[in-house]
Each structure stands twice: as C-alpha cells, then as structure tokens.
C-alpha cells in the first residue's frame, strides 16, 4: 500500500474520552484505528489522509483532525484566491481530474 | 400497500419543494431507460429500477471518465425499488451521481432492496461527503421526504463507507431514528457484505490504489493538461522558428521541433508514466516521482540526440534538462488530487519544498533556452 509523508497528519486522539464503540475503525479507509477494543488504538497514523470520517463519527468527540482534500491544484487555487477547493467544484465536474470518481473504478 | 396519497408529494422527481406532486407529464417522455416500472408502497409509488446496465449506461460512463458533460449526469433524488422489496428489505443509500448509482444497482441483481438516492448535486459519494452534501442533514431530510419510515418496518440504513466523512452515524440515529451501518467501499463487495449479515471484512474497508485505479485517472489528467502543453510546445516552436529560420517554423527549426516534442514527452512523463510507476519510483512525494521520470526522459532524449551534448550547445542542454523534469514534476504533483492516500497537510508540505524549486528551475530553464536561441549557431 502506498504511503505518503510521515509526521504530517493533524490527527489527534484522546484515549481517555473513548467509549469503545468501534466506529473509527469501521469508517477509516486506511485502517488507522484498530478494531473493537477499548479504548481504540491508533496503528499507523502516517497512513491518515485527513478525510475526517473518524472525527465525524466519534460519538465521544475523542478525535480531531483538520479534514481536507490533499490536492495540489486545490492548494494552488486557494493560494491564488480563485475558488477554494479543486475537488468536486463545478469546474472539476467539467473535467478536472481532482477527486474524480475515477479514482477508484469500483467505489460507489 | 394501499394508501398511496399521503406522502407521495415529496417523493418523485425531487428538485425542491415547489415541484408538482408527481411527474407523470415528465415521466411520459422523459422516463430514463433504467426505470422499468413502479411499485406501490404505503408512502406512494416508487420507481422500480433495472439492475443490468445498458450499452447507453456504459457509453455515458466512458464519456464521464473523459470529463465530458459530467454535470448533466444526475439521477433524481428519492427512493427506488430493486427486485420485489417489502417492508423488511434493506435500504442502501447512495449519491445522485449517475455513476455512483449505476455501480450500486449493477451489484444488486437478484436482490430485493430499496435504494435511497441523496441529492448530492450530481457528485459522487466520496467527494460529496468531503463537501458535506452527502451528509447527516441530507440523509435525515431524504428519509423524511420519502416517507421511508412507512415503507420499511426496520430502522437500518446501509451507507457507503466513503460517505462517512460527511455522515455522523449517531446524529442520523438521533434525528431520524435510523441506525447507520457502513457498507463496503466498493460496490462489488455488496453481495458478500449482505450475505455476511451486513458485516464487512477489513479488506472491504480499505481504499486501494492499484494499477487499475491509477490508470483510470490517466485519461482525465491528459485531457486536463494537454491543451497547456500544446500551447507551450507551440510557443516554443514559433519562438525558435522566428529567431532562427525567419518565418519558417519547420525546416531549419530543429531546436523548435525538439523542444516542442520534449514538452509533450514531459507531459506524458508526469501525467501517465509517473502515476503508473508510482509504487516503484524512489520518492515519497508525487513531484519527486515526476521529477525522476522527467530526468529519465531527459536522459533518454540526450542518448537519442534530441538534447545535444556538446560544448557549444551547453546552454541549450542545460535549458532542456531543467525544463523537462520541471514539467513532469509539476504535472505529477497535480496528480495528488486523484490519489486516495495524500492528506492535505502532506500536500502542503510537499508543495512548500517543490513549488519554489519548480519555479526556479522552470524560470532558469526558460531564460537559458531563450539565451540559447540568440547565441545558437
Ligand atoms: S481522518 Fe480519515 S484517514 Fe485519517 S484516521 Fe480519520 S478516518 Fe482514517
Ligand atoms: S469512535 Fe470515538 S468513542 Fe468510538 S471507538 Fe473510536 S475513539 Fe472510541
């Protein structure tokens, strides 16, 4: 599995708040959280792509992460002040590669 | 299954609250081919949909992959029926992007199920979840608009896992009474997931980025960058032609032709070769991987004589060795938006290092190339 840069993710997890529901492990597309145990454990935080699914689904608010889309064109657009994120914006739907659904032919 | 009036107002052809109750008029001439009938439910008639994709569906999908006419490719939000569903049949949630919808229904052949299509403005599940349009509020709203609680007697929604960034499962439960079970990432795993009593294996829960996934984005990358590369190549061709051989832009314009060809080769390096070779290129950043491919292209071009290697052409050699890897690195860097593993923080860090290098190398290359034009021969 491809791995990106180390020690960059903004993922923070407070094990003291965890109620052990297992949602974080269920939703993470990179297996960053280990399965059903209490408290949940982070396996390899460098795999985190900052999608924000774990934070959104943690009922105990034990997880924070600065969610965003890792897309260079979006960062450039943002820096130039033209139209925020690249992904899935109106122009991306017109053919920009960013965040295209083609990224995973079988994903829904 | 007899009271058909109470909630049908909100179900059909949903495009907002001002829509007429139902849409017979529109349906008559505008009925999509994938609607094969209607099923009566306590919440009104529900369109019955086919699970087999037609040639038209597949052709449209191919067009979408090339970035043609994506916005016009939304499915009306609402409830749909697959097979012969009853009050106990499962409810699968998806986006109203036609490709998301097609990938799902294609895998539901032989099953009896309900499909709840959210209004995500024609955008796929993952992207819409990131923007929040595939999210808690829209699920709660759509459950109530479709009268789902009257159609099924269980209280479970199967939501694709990639929708999770927008959906707070516990909030959906609190606000709608429906419990969220996250389904597998890939629609192809849905039959196995259902057969296992709505449980997903770890493998079903992981995004992949194999050769097939990586190559699927290549056409879009090429379509996106080719006009730019052609413009740069043409500008080089004309500039070299005007300076060297009067207004003749071909004969005697060997530098212009080579430069133009190298720009296009650099594009292919960044948009095709780097994404395909990603796992084996010895760099962690996409721009680093693109640069490696660009250097390899420059080396091959030098070996072939397309980049001259002689004392009197040293400026031109340096210029092309700077320009080619820079273009490949930049184009490859933009591929971060298509990957499934790059985080925003990571991309920012990558760019802090890579962009200044690209600007410096690109500018130096351009200056040297121009100087070489005037000094050459
Ligand atoms: S932000 Fe996404 S990738 Fe990172 S740990 Fe949470 S669910 Fe996993
Ligand atoms: S989602 Fe939150 S409460 Fe549940 S296991 Fe993960 S960290 Fe613990």
| Least confidently predicted of A34-48, B232-246, B357-371 | B232-246
- Assign residue B16 a region (left: φ > 0; alpha: ψ between -120 and 50; beta: otherwise): left
Largest CA distance in chain B: 90
Res. B60: pLDDT tops 90:
no
* Chain A partners within 8 Å of B123 (Cβ): 88, 93
Residues of chain B with CATH 3.40.50.11600: 3-205
* Set of chain A residues whose Cβ sits within 8 Å of the Cβ of B65: 102
Name the residue in chain A with its Cα closest to that of B189: A106
Per-residue pLDDT tens digits for B155-198: 999 999 999 999 999 999 999 999 999 999 999 999 999 999 99
- Tell how strand B78-82 and strand A63-64 pair up: unpaired
Residue A4: list chain B partners with CB under 8 A: 284, 341-343, 346
Provide the chain B residues 1-60 that lie in CB contact (below 8 A) with chain A: none
Report pTM. Answer: 0.83
More confident residue, B250 or B57: B57
Residue B18 to chain A, least CA–CA distance (Å): 24
List, in order of start, the domains of chain A with CATH numbers.
Answer: 12-94 (3.30.70.20)
Cis peptide before A39 (omega within 30 of 0): yes
For ligand 2, atom 8: residue with the closest CA = A18
pLDDT per residue as tens digits for the range B68-121: 655 557 899 999 999 999 999 999 999 999 889 999 999 999 999 999 999 999
Restricting to A residues 43-102, those with a Cβ less than 8 Å away from any Cβ of B are 47-53, 56-57, 59, 66-76, 85-88, 90, 93-102
- Say which CATH architecture domain B3-205 belongs to: 3-Layer(aba) Sandwich (3.40)
Which residues of chain B from 125 to 144 reach within 8 Å of chain A, CB to CB? 125-131
Average pLDDT for B258-272: 94
Q: Is the CB of A34 under 6 A from ligand 2?
A: no
- Contacts of residue B214, defined as CB under 8 A and 6 or more positions apart, other chains included, come to B275, B276, B278
Residues 6+ apart with CB under 8 A from B373: B239, B240, B243, B244, B255
Confidence of residue B280 (pLDDT cuts 50, 70, 90): very high
Using pLDDT thresholds of 50, 70 and 90, give the confidence band for residue B221: confident
CB burial string B1-15: b at 16+ within 10 A, e below: eeeeeebbbbbbbbe
Looking at the predicted structure, is the pLDDT value of residue B284 above 70?
Answer: yes
Is the minimum distance from the CB of A58 to ligand 2 under 6 angstroms?
yes
Q: In this complex, is the C-beta atom of A23 within 8 Å of any C-beta atom belonging to chain B?
A: yes
Locate B12 and state its tokens. 């059909």
Instruction: Name the residue of A2, A23, A41, A53 whose CB sits within 8 Å of the most ligand 1 atoms, as the mutation to test its pocket.
Output: A53
Q: What is the pLDDT of residue A83?
A: 61
Residues 268-327 of B with CB under 8 A from A: 278-279, 284-286
Question: Distance, in angstroms, between A44 CA and closest chain B CA?
Answer: 13
Pocket test for ligand 2, best of A22, A26, A64 (most atoms within 8 A of CB): A22
Contact assessment for residue B43 and residue B146, using Cβ atoms and an 8 Å cutoff: yes
Both tokens of B40, joined, read 């009566």
> Could you tell me if the CB of A32 is within 6 A of ligand 1?
yes
Comparison of pLDDT for B273 and A106, the residue scoring more: B273
Quote ipTM for the complex.
0.83
Contact yes or no for A49/A30 (Cβ under 8 A)? yes
Q: Which residue of B has its CA nearest to A74?
A: B337
A25: pLDDT strictly greater than 90: yes
Strand, helix or coil at B283? coil
DSSP code, position B77: B
Average pLDDT over residues B10-18: 32
> What is the distance between the alpha carbons of residues A47 and A7, in angstroms, rounded to a whole number?
10
Q: Contact, B51 vs B105, CB < 8 A?
A: yes
Which conformational region is residue B189 in: left (phi greater than 0), alpha (psi within -120 to 50 degrees), or beta?
alpha
Contacts of A72 in chain B (CB under 8 A): 286, 333-334, 336-337, 347, 350-351
Find the helix or strand (DSSP H, E) in which B238 lies.
Answer: helix B211-244
Residue B7 CB-half CA count within 13 A: 19
Q: Do A106 and B187 touch (CB under 8 A)?
A: yes
Please give the pLDDT value at position B69.
59
A-B Cβ pairs (cutoff 8 Å, strict): 229
A49 CB neighbours in chain B (<8 A) are 340-343
Closest ligand 2 atom to Cα of A23: 1
Q: Assess B339–A contact: CB distance below 8 Å, yes or no.
A: yes
Q: Give the residue, by CA position, lying nearest to ligand 1 atom 7.
A: A28
Q: How many Å separate Cα B163 from the centre of its chain?
A: 15
Selected for mutation to probe chain A from B94, B127, B185, B200 (highest A CB count within 10 Å) is: B127
């Amino acid at each position: 599995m491809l791995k990106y840069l180390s020690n960059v993710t903004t993922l923070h997890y407070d094990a003291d708040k965890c109620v052990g529901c297992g949602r974080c492990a269920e939703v993470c597309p990179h297996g960053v959280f280990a399965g059903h145990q209490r408290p949940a454990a982070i396996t390899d935080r460098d795999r985190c792509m900052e999608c924000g699914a774990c934070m959104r689904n943690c009922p105990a608010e034990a997880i924070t992460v600065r969610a965003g889309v890792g897309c260079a064109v979006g960062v450039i657009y943002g820096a130039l002040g033209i139209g925020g994120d690249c992904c899935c914006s109106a122009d991306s739907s017109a053919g920009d590669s960013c965040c295209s659904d083609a990224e995973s032919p079988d994903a829904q | 299954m007899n009271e058909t009036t109470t909630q049908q107002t909100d179900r059909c052809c949903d495009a907002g609250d001002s829509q007429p109750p139902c849409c017979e008029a529109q349906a008559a001439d505008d009925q999509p081919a994938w609607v094969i009938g209607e099923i009566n439910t306590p919440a009104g008639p529900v369109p019955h949909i086919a699970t087999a994709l037609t040639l038209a569906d597949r052709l449209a999908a191919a067009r979408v992959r090339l970035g043609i006419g994506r916005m016009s490719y939304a499915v009306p939000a609402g409830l749909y029926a697959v097979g012969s569903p009853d009050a106990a049949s499962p409810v699968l949630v998806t986006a109203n992007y036609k490709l998301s919808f097609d990938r799902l229904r294609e895998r539901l052949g032989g099953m009896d199920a309900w499909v709840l299509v959210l209004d995500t403005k024609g955008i796929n599940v993952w992207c819409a979840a990131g923007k929040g349009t595939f999210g808690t509020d829209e699920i709660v709203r759509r459950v109530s608009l479709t009268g789902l609680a009257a159609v099924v007697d269980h209280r479970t929604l199967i939501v694709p896992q990639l929708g999770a960034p927008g959906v707070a499962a516990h909030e959906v439960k609190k606000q709608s009474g429906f419990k969220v079970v996250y389904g597998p990432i890939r629609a192809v795993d849905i039959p196995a997931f259902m057969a296992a009593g709505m449980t997903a294996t770890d493998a079903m829960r992981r995004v992949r980025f194999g050769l097939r996934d990586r190559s699927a984005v290549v056409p879009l990358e090429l379509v996106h960058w080719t006009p730019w590369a052609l413009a740069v190549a043409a500008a080089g061709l004309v500039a070299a032609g005007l300076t060297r051989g009067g207004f003749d832009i071909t004969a005697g314009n060997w530098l212009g032709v080579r430069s133009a060809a190298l720009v296009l080769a650099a594009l292919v390096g960044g948009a095709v070769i780097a994404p395909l070779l990603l796992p084996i290129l010895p760099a962690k950043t996409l721009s680093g991987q693109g640069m490696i491919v660009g250097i390899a292209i420059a080396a091959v071009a030098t070996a072939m004589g397309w980049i001259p290697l002689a004392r009197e052409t040293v400026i031109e050699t340096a210029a092309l060795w700077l320009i080619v890897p820079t273009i490949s690195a930049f184009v490859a860097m933009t591929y971060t938006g298509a990957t499934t593993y790059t985080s925003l923080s990571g991309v920012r860090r990558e760019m802090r290092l890579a962009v200044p290098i690209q600007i410096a190398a690109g500018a130096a290359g351009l200056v040297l190339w121009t100087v070489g034009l005037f000094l050459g021969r």
